[in-house]
Structure 1
Amino acid sequence: MRILYLYQYFVPVQGHGMTRAYEFARRLIAMGHDVKMVTSAGYLPEAYKSLTETTEIEISGIPCIVIPVPYSNYMSFPQRIRSFIRFALIASWRCMRHPADIVYASSAPLTIAIPAIAASRWQRIPFVFEVRDLWPELPIAIGALRNPLLKRAARALEWLAYHAARHVVALSPGQAEGVIKRGIDTNRVTVIPNSADVDLFDVPDGSGAPVREQLGLTPDQPLIVYTGTFGLMNNISYLVEIAVAMRSIAPDMRFLLIGAGGEFEKVMQTARDHGVLDDTVFIWEPRPKTEIPAILSAATVATSLFLPVKEMWNNSANKFFDALAAGRPIAINYCGWQAEILEATGAGIVIPDQDATQAAHDLAAFVHDAERVQAAREAARELAYSRFHRDTMTAQLEQLLRRVVTEGH
């Protein structure tokens, strides 16, 4: 198949961020398919951000069309909207002219549906839409999208994207339910969650020793790790509040937060104000994905956090699956399908979302129960291999795309 793969935030393995598109693309290519990734330079390594015109180039083995539209989590919401629209318009023109058998477009942003629909209609080929988050539900829920006209426009685009797509891929059961509620037949929706890259993350325990040494930790000293975006929805300041409470509960506990985003300076300042920065809380700039396995190997517990907003329960956070692949227990502060998995398997712990002191008590009790931690590690690794292995997820996607193309003829 000739697959036109649209994802505005493409990240190769040497970058930092979600590598789902890269991992799927390289496996589809290995299966013999012709994949062309259409993306922006927003999350690419610095070497590609100097591009001044749309460029066809191979990045980490993936043939790409890179559109030089800037994007970052530091942008204001209006700046992001302008970036989304500009990318959508340029990508539409390029995608209409690039021959393919199928279009696979991954959101967010929701505007990625515009070039996908343009290419699908112009070339008369099917379009499959991947929903990573339910937009505009999330920005409306957290107050990021308030303008009534923009709300109506976003909801209209959402409806159009779902109904124009031959099939919709959702990353969680809750997201699938959200799509179905918007009038899409159940048979046209498939759940393919984020995946565990066990080939990358299943490393020897000693791999984390240099990280622990850099932090000045003893071999048995507990370390709580967060790796990911420091955005408004991620609520990383709450983890700092937990660390503050932890000083009087388990003074030996250390926290390592790694990432970037619009809330980075706020998180730093919060830690500084409470006197925990570079004492019990360490905050690092983003690291390439290739360095994250050693960092998670150093961790006692990994974390995934969000604001206390019910709409976030349907997320499919990449860091959750990275922790599973690394065989590390994960602590989350939200309900939903991931919480149900942790409660059913014992692969981690669900902590309160608005009570930092109680969360600290729960986390300390978990970490200091060696048998429970070991059982959680084994359960996490079992989940990674048996339910969320990237190869398994790619095989499901490949079969789906084949079926859609076949039915289209």
Structure 2
Amino acid sequence: MNSATHILKPSLRSSFPAPGRARAVDLELPLHALDAQRPLRIALVTETYPPEVNGVALSVARLVEGLRGRGHHVHLVRPRQPEHDATRPADDAATETLVAGLPIPRYPELRLGLPATGRLLKLWRQQQPDLVHIATEGPLGWAAQRAADRLGMPVISEFRTNFHAYSQHYGLAWLRPLIEGYLRRFHNRCALTMVPSEAQRQRLVALGFERLLVVARGVDTERFNPRWRSQALRQQWGAEPDTPVLLSVGRLAAEKNLNLLIKAYEGLLQQNPQARLVLVGHGPERERLQQACPQAIFSGQKTGMELAEHYASADLFGFPSLTETFGNVVPEAMASGLPVVAFDEAAAALLLRDGAGLLLNPGDEEGFCQAVASLGTHPAQRHSMARRALCTVADHGWERIVSEVEAQYRQHLQALIP
């Protein structure tokens, strides 16, 4: 990590305004900015946040919670969520700025923040943050980048979603080069872009992305834990104590490759007709998937303790997606004591190499189905992998991840001080 930071330092200044303008900003930064104990003022911009349920929203919320827990002043900028924010306490304005938003096409439960450059300029001129952290690259993120550039403030971004890869699943493959170009320009204007895995970093480097640093995602090992296993819930599924339950958690959408999961389940049924498939989540593909696999159990969207119980009450986790930047559900399943069957991508590639599950070459659909059938019919192998999974995720708690992000903030602020 130190060597990567050392390489970054010479190019940082070229990402910000000309020297004369930068000096004016430097005067506003106190000399004790180098003090490793001084709380930082962070503007964190995101276009998705709880109660929206998705991997980006939940991991951003954990980062905000962790940074505030370490004493930092985090001001959140996000789209207004009409139902949730109608009853928002007035004093939340001290920690949040809400902007207008629109529903995302085909994702109506999520909102896209509209550009708000002028409003952000006014906000940050009144109380300038030490840095701006942009978690998403939509119109609001773009506006935040413009405002930060005009004020000469450092910007750190994250690459969280493979939007360019999603396009092929919605008949928009022709848009992929345009989306890639936008994302490359966006992130290359930032001082640093954090990516969740080395494999993702290498793919982005090949596409011309610059100044990338791997910072993994965390998992809440208290919330996701085998002790929440519920026999009552298993009985609702029609599962006896020795019935293998294959679980999937995530959006029911084309990019999640759930046709393959159903195919794998059908193979498992041939080995054990009592096996169960439980899908947690909702999305545009639900009706079609129910028609394709009427015997599957569609539990809908779950959060909190209900989600934890669903994880812990299953026996193995199937993750056929090939479009993830990370895949938070993989460490969540592992922390819940589940072996995982997945392709050698994203979080699975990072976490499953020690025998905590079965990794398949990307696109090896036959191998994926065979792996599900094998684990589904060999409980001793499942239990062995579950133990390894628990050991692996023990080192991926959010406290360590937040500490790494904080260290990057301080190193990049220090690089900007003459």
Given the alignment of the two structures, is residue 17 of structure 1 paired with residue 74 of structure 2, yes or no? no
Paired residue secondary structure (2:185): helix
Partner residue, 1:292:
307
Partner residue, 1:407:
415
Given the alignment of the two structures, is residue 397 of structure 1 paired with residue 405 of structure 2, yes or no? yes
Given the alignment of the two structures, is residue 263 of structure 1 paired with residue 288 of structure 2, yes or no? no
Given the alignment of the two structures, is residue 48 of structure 1 paired with residue 63 of structure 2, yes or no? no
One-letter identity of the residue aligned with 1:406: Q
8 A Cα contact 2:272 2:377, kept in partner: no
- Aligned partners of 1:262, 1:346: CA distance in 2, in Å? 34
What displacement does 1:269 show? 1.9
Partner residue, 1:32:
71
- Aligned partners of 1:156, 1:370: CA distance in 2, in Å? 47
Cα deviation code 1:321-380 (max 9, x no counterpart):
211222221111x22354544663110123587676764443232233233212211111
Given the alignment of the two structures, is residue 323 of structure 1 paired with residue 333 of structure 2, yes or no? yes
What are the residue-to-residue correspondences of 1:3-402 with 2, within 5 Å? 3-12=42-51, 16-18=53-55, 19-41=58-80, 47-48=83-84, 58=92, 63-71=95-103, 74-75=106-107, 84=112, 87-90=113-116, 92-99=117-124, 100-107=129-136, 109-136=137-164, 138-142=165-169, 144-146=171-173, 151-152=177-178, 154-185=179-210, 188-204=211-227, 207-272=229-294, 276=295, 281-306=296-321, 312=323, 315-332=325-342, 334-336=343-345, 338-341=347-350, 344-350=353-359, 359-386=368-395, 388-402=396-410
8 A Cα contact 1:229 1:259, kept in partner: yes
- Aligned partners of 1:342, 1:130: CA distance in 2, in Å? 20
- Aligned partners of 2:231, 2:144: CA distance in 1, in Å? 46
- Aligned partners of 2:363, 2:319: CA distance in 1, in Å? 14
Cα deviation code 1:277-332 (max 9, x no counterpart):
xxxx101210124421111110101222225xxxx3x6300101211222221111
Give structure 2 stretches of 5+ with no counterpart: 1-39
- Aligned partners of 1:341, 1:122: CA distance in 2, in Å? 38
- Aligned partners of 2:105, 2:357: CA distance in 1, in Å? 29
- Aligned partners of 1:199, 1:73: CA distance in 2, in Å? 35
8 A Cα contact 2:44 2:74, kept in partner: yes
Cα deviation code 1:167-220 (max 9, x no counterpart):
1101121221233335455xx321112222112112515x32232122122122
8 A Cα contact 1:133 1:175, kept in partner: no
One-letter identity of the residue aligned with 1:34: H
- Aligned partners of 1:242, 1:178: CA distance in 2, in Å? 28
- Residues 261, 328 of structure 1: CA spacing in aligned structure 2 closer, same or farther, 3 A cutoff? same
What displacement does 1:115 show? 2.0
- Aligned partners of 2:247, 2:68: CA distance in 1, in Å? 34
Paired residue secondary structure (1:198): coil
- Residues 365, 178 of structure 1: CA spacing in aligned structure 2 closer, same or farther, 3 A cutoff? closer
Stretch moving more, 346-355 or 170-179:
346-355
- Aligned partners of 1:67, 1:303: CA distance in 2, in Å? 38
Paired residue secondary structure (1:316): coil
Give structure 1 stretches of 5+ with no counterpart: none
One-letter identity of the residue aligned with 1:382: C
Paired residue secondary structure (2:76): strand
- Residues 117, 225 of structure 1: CA spacing in aligned structure 2 closer, same or farther, 3 A cutoff? same
8 A Cα contact 1:145 1:151, kept in partner: no
8 A Cα contact 1:351 1:363, kept in partner: no
What displacement does 1:252 show? 1.7
Please, what TM-score do these two structures have when normalized by structure 1? 0.81
- Aligned partners of 1:246, 1:357: CA distance in 2, in Å? 13
Aligned length, in residue pairs: 372
Please, what TM-score do these two structures have when normalized by structure 2? 0.79
8 A Cα contact 2:101 2:114, kept in partner: no
One-letter identity of the residue aligned with 2:337: G
One-letter identity of the residue aligned with 2:54: G
Cα deviation code 1:385-405 (max 9, x no counterpart):
12x221111110011012222
Paired residue secondary structure (1:37): strand
Q: Higher Cα Rg: structure 1 or 2?
A: 2
Paired residue secondary structure (1:306): coil
What displacement does 1:160 show? 2.4
Q: Percent identity?
A: 16
Stretch moving more, 298-307 or 350-359:
350-359
- Residues 131, 48 of structure 1: CA spacing in aligned structure 2 closer, same or farther, 3 A cutoff? same
- Residues 266, 11 of structure 1: CA spacing in aligned structure 2 closer, same or farther, 3 A cutoff? same
Paired residue secondary structure (1:248): helix
- Aligned partners of 2:408, 2:365: CA distance in 1, in Å? 43
Cα deviation code 1:243-295 (max 9, x no counterpart):
233322211210100111121222122123xxx2xxxx101210124421111
Cα deviation code 1:83-112 (max 9, x no counterpart):
64xx2413x3332232321111113x4545
Paired residue secondary structure (2:281): strand
- Residues 73, 364 of structure 1: CA spacing in aligned structure 2 closer, same or farther, 3 A cutoff? farther
- Superposition CA RMSD, Å: 3.1
8 A Cα contact 2:345 2:362, kept in partner: no
